[in-house]
Amino acid sequence: MKVLVGPAPLTPREVVAVARHGAAVELTSDALEALARARVAIEALAEAETPSYGVSTGFGALATRHIAPELRAQLQKSLVRSHAAGAGPEVEEEVVRALMLLRLHTLATGHTGVRPETAATMAAMLNARITPVVHEYGSLGCSGDLAPLSACALALMGEGQVRVDGVLQPAADALAKAGITPVELREKEGLALINGTDGMLGMLLLALEDLRDLLDVADITAAMTIEALLATDRVFAPDLHALRPHPGQQVSAARLTRILRDSPIVASHRGPDCNRVQDAYSLRCTPQVHGAARDTADYCGIVAGRELASAVDNPVVLDDGRVESNGNFHGAPVAYALDFLAIPIADVASISERRTDRMLDVHRSHGLPAFLADDPGVDSGHMIAQYTQAAIVSELKRLANPASVDSIPSSAMQEDHVSMGWSAARKLRRSVDGLRKVLAVELLTAARALDLRQPLLPAPATAAAVAALRVHVEGPGPDRHLAPEIAAAEELILSGTLLAVVQKEIA
C-alpha cells in the first residue's frame, strides 16, 4: 500500500498504515505545486524590509528581534537544535512515524511555506524507515508538539540520533546509507517543521484504532461471562434498546445477542421456572456501558477527522499569499478528546473487573467452585488474577483524570496557557494497554468458568473463543503459573485472532 500525501486530508486508515504497518508515502503533484506556490510568498517576505514573524524575526518571547538576512538560515537551525530538548524514555516507533506523516501532510497543504525538497526529504525518511529518537517529555501541547517535532526536524538536518530496524545510530549515517541528502534549512522552515499538533493527533488515531477492536472484544468477554453466570440474554432485545436510542448501545446489544445465539447454557435456564428475576448491573447493563464508550469513541473520531483536515502552523501562508499569525497550534480540541476517551476506557475495564469478580465468588457465581479453583483451599484458582485486574483498573481511574485542565506558563509568559495534549495522549496509550490486559483476565476466567459448566455447552461463538484460547492455555486443573496464561490471552486479543474466530461465527 502506498499513501498519497497532498493537500486533501489523510484518512485514519492511511495514518495507521504508515505509522504501524510501514506503508510507503508519495507526495502528489498537487502537493508539490502548493509547496512551490507558498514558498514564493515566504521568499518575498524574506526580501522585504518589514519584519515578518518566523521569517525575519526571533520566536516566542524573542519575536521582537529583527534578524539580519545572513543569520536567518542559522536562526532556523538554532531553533530546531534548541527545541530538540526532550527527556525521558524513547517514544514508540509507530508514534514517531504518525508524527512525521501528519507533519508531512501539513507541509503538503501549501500553508507552511517550506520548499518542496524539504517535504520530499521527510517523505524519503519515512520510506527508508528512518525513525528519529523522540523522548517522552518536552511537549506542552501548545505552539505544537515542539520537542518531539524538533527531534524529527533535527534528524532531517542530519543531526541527532535515529533508529533503523531498531538499531540506534547517528542520523547523518542513516541518511547517507539511504542516499538521502540532509536538509539545509531556509527561512521559516525550522518553524514550519515543529509547529503542529501531530504527535497528539497521531496517538489519538492509533488509540481509536485499538479501542474499536477492544470494545468488540469487551462484548465477547462479557457474553462469555453472561453465559458462565447463567444470566439472561432477554435484556439485550432490540425493542428494549429502541426505547433509549443511543447508537453505541444498540450496537453492543445486537452484538451480545448474536454472540449468545444458540447457546445451550442460556437456553437451559430460559422459561417460566427460572428464578432469576434480574441480573446484576455488570451483566444487565453491559450494552449501556460498552455502548456509551462506542459513542465517545465516535465523537473523538469526529474531532480527529477535523484535525486531519487542518493545516496547523504559525504563521500560515493563506491562499491569497498573505502570511498571518494565528493560534491554531493550540492543542485544546485534541487534548479534550484524548482526555475524554480515557474515561470510558476506565469504565469498560471497571465493569469487566466486576463481572470477573462475580465468577470467583461462590455466593454469586451460581454453582461454580470458589475462585474457579480445582480444589478450593489447596488451590487459589483465579483469585489473584482478579487482584491484577483490580490493580490495573485502579491505575486506569487515575489515568482518567484529565491532563488538559492543567497549564504551566512558558516562554517568559508569552505562551501563558497550554493544552498539555501530549501528556493526555501519552496516558491514553497506557489506558488502552491496561484495558487490553483487563479484558484478557476476563477472557481467561470466563473460559475456565464455561469449561466448568460442562456438560452444558456455550454458544458457537463463545465456544470458538474458548477453543482459540485453549490452543495456548490448558483448561481447568490444579494451580499453574498464571502470568504466562494472562499474557497468552492478551496476545490472542492483540493479534486479532479472538475477534476473527468469533466474527466468523456471528457474521
Position 201 in a domain: no
Helix axes 12-21, 286-308, angle to 10 degrees: 90
Q: Give residue-wise pLDDT tens across range 102-153.
A: 999 999 999 999 999 999 999 999 999 999 999 999 999 887 799 999 999 9
Report pLDDT for 394.
Answer: 98
389 shares its domain with 428? yes
pLDDT at position 272, please? 64
At 376-417, the pLDDT tens digits run 999 999 999 999 999 999 999 999 999 999 988 888 787 888
pTM metric for this prediction: 0.95
183 and 283 in a common domain? no
Pairing of strands 24-27, 2-5: parallel
Percent of the chain with pLDDT over 90: 85
Q: Is the dihedral of CA 86, 91, 93, 94 positive or negative?
A: negative
Convert the pLDDT of each residue in 268-283 to its tens digit: 988 666 666 689 999 9
**Given this model, what pLDDT does residue 50 score?**
75
- Out of 53, 137, 281, 387, the active site residue is 53
pLDDT number for residue 48: 75
CATH number at residue 45: 1.10.275.10
Is residue 205, in this structure, part of any structural domain at all? no
Instruction: Tell whether 203 is covered by a domain.
Output: no
Mean pLDDT, the chain, whole residue set: 94
- Residue 276, pLDDT score: 67
Which one of 167, 196, 225 terminates a domain?
196
On whether both 135 and 215 belong to a single domain, the answer is no
Residue predicted with more confidence, 134 or 1: 134
Contact in structure between 123 and 26 (CB atoms under 8 Å): yes
Active site residue 53: yes
Among candidate residues 196, 220, 237, the one where a domain is terminated: 196
Q: Is residue 204 part of a domain?
A: no
**In a shared domain, residues 325 and 371:** yes
Helix (H, G, I), strand (E, B) or coil at 329: coil
Residue 159 shares a structural domain with residue 228? no
Model confidence at 423: pLDDT above 80: yes
- In this structure, the answer to whether residues 73 and 215 fall within a common structural domain is no
Domain identity same for 146 and 239: no
pLDDT at 46: 79
Asked if residue 59 has pLDDT above 70, the reply is: no
In a domain, 70, yes or no: yes
User: 65 with 180: CB under 8 angstroms?
Assistant: no
Amino acid 408: pLDDT = 87
What interhelical angle do 421-452 and 383-399 show, nearest 10?
160
Residues in the chain: 507
Q: What's the rounded mean pLDDT across residues 191-203?
A: 95
Over residues 84-103, the pLDDT tens digits come to 999 999 999 999 999 999 99
Q: Which residue has the higher pLDDT, 41 or 19?
A: 19
The 10 Å CB-count burial string (b at 16+, else e) for 288-313 is bbbbbbbebbeebbebbeebbebbbb
CA distance 227 to 398: 32
What are the cell numbers at 123?
Answer: 517523505
Same domain as 185, residue 117: yes
Query: Phi/psi at 26 (nearest 5 deg)?
Result: -150, 130
- Do 138 and 217 belong together in one domain? no
Examine residue 184 and state whether it is found in any structural domain, yes or no. Answer: yes
Q: Are residues 133 and 94 in the same domain?
A: yes
In 3D space, the residue among 309, 295, 249, 303 whose CA is nearest the CA of residue 425 turns out to be: 303
Q: CATH number of the domain that 390 lies in? A: 1.20.200.10
Range from 224-228, 321-325, 466-470, 492-496 carrying the lowest mean pLDDT: 321-325
In this predicted structure, what is the pLDDT of residue 74?
A: 87
236 and 149 in a common domain: no
Cβ–Cβ under 8 Å, residues 368 and 446? no
Per-residue pLDDT, averaged over 454-464, amounts to 97
The closest of 325, 327, 332, 324 to 306, measured between CA atoms, is 332
Q: What would the mean pLDDT of 435-440 be, rounded to a whole number? A: 98
| Residue 112: inside a domain | yes
The structural domain count of the chain equals: 2
pLDDT of residue 72 exceeding 80: no
Q: Which of 231, 89, 81 is nearest to 147 (CA)?
A: 81
| Domain co-membership, 409 together with 492 | yes
What pLDDT band is residue 45 in, cutting at 50, 70 and 90?
Answer: confident
Backbone angles phi, psi at 415, to 5 degrees: -100, 75
Q: Which domain holds residue 493?
A: 211-506
Structural domain ending residue among the three candidates 196, 223, 254 = 196
Question: Residue 58's pLDDT is what?
Answer: 67
Does residue 286 register a pLDDT over 70?
A: yes
Q: Is there a domain that residue 202 lies in?
A: no
